[in-house]
Amino acid sequence: MSADGRAPARDRAIDDSMKRAVERILYLFISEDVAQENFDAINDNIYSKSQDYIQDYRILREGMDNDLYRVKVRATLSVRDIEDDLAMLGILTDERWPDGDATAVVVKIVVSGIEKYSHFRMLRETLETDIQGVDAVYLRRMESRVAVMDVDMQGNAAGLANVLAWREFGEFSLYITDVKPGVIDLNMVKE
């Protein structure tokens, strides 16, 4: 690919990364089934303005890979704006918020990027004492900057991920990398 062709390819790769970042946040609020049912509305009103939700971003890695320009970014998004736009579209439902009669579940949390044990301890103590609906936290394993915990709680993984996305820890930030039923993957980044 010529130098003239790299700039547009890079721009497309960055745009695609931004769209995927917005998509991850979107799935905190709605299920994949709801997203599929409302694909056109979401595509026209959310994905088409992905750049508007990005507050800042940093390119972590970029370059050519098998004739494709690939970019890995870390982005800070306005979660509240995405939530507001979903609500305006009528797609957002209250199902994501656990009610008082919610079923007890176990959510597995995988935390990567732990640089200091004190940061991990702060996260664990926050889960145990400050997050409504959490009954108990069990450390299953910790090795090489990664910890795996089981969280007994009322509600679901998406609701807990949403609470953690809004939480400020001061010394570090949590970036949600994936949310599936029963599993949350987080990346801990030192501030």
80-87 long-range Cβ contacts below 8 angstroms, 24+ apart: 81/52, 81/53, 82/22, 82/25, 82/26, 82/29, 82/46, 82/53, 83/29, 85/45, 85/46, 86/26, 86/29, 86/30, 86/46
pLDDT value for 114: 93
For the cut 50, the answer to whether the pLDDT of residue 99 exceeds it is: no
The whole-model pTM stands at: 0.53
Cβ atoms within 10 A of the Cβ of 190, count?
11
Q: Check residues 98 and 157 and name the one with the higher pLDDT.
A: 157
For the cut 50, the answer to whether the pLDDT of residue 101 exceeds it is: no
Q: What is the distance in angstroms between the CA of the first residue and the CA of the last residue of the chain?
A: 37
The residue behind tokens 């949310």 is 179
Q: Please give the backbone phi and psi of residue 63, each rounded to the nearest 5 degrees, phi first.
A: 155, 175
Q: How confident is the model at residue 4 (pLDDT cuts 50, 70, 90)?
A: low
- Over residues 48-63, mean pLDDT: 86
For the cut 90, the answer to whether the pLDDT of residue 149 exceeds it is: yes
67 burial type by CB count under 10 A (0-12 exposed, 13-18 middle, 19+ buried): exposed
pLDDT tens digit string along 22-53? Answer: 888 887 788 778 888 999 999 999 999 888 98
3-state helix vs strand vs coil in the chain, percent to 5: 45, 35, 20
| Extents of the domains making up the chain | 3-94, 104-190
| CA–CA separation, 170 and 55 (whole Å) | 18
| CA–CA separation, 151 and 106 (whole Å) | 5
Residue-averaged pLDDT of the chain: 84
Q: Check residues 79 and 102 and name the one with the higher pLDDT.
A: 79
- Over residues 82-99, mean pLDDT: 71
**Strand ranges (DSSP E) for 12-161?**
54-65, 68-77, 104-112, 134-143, 146-154
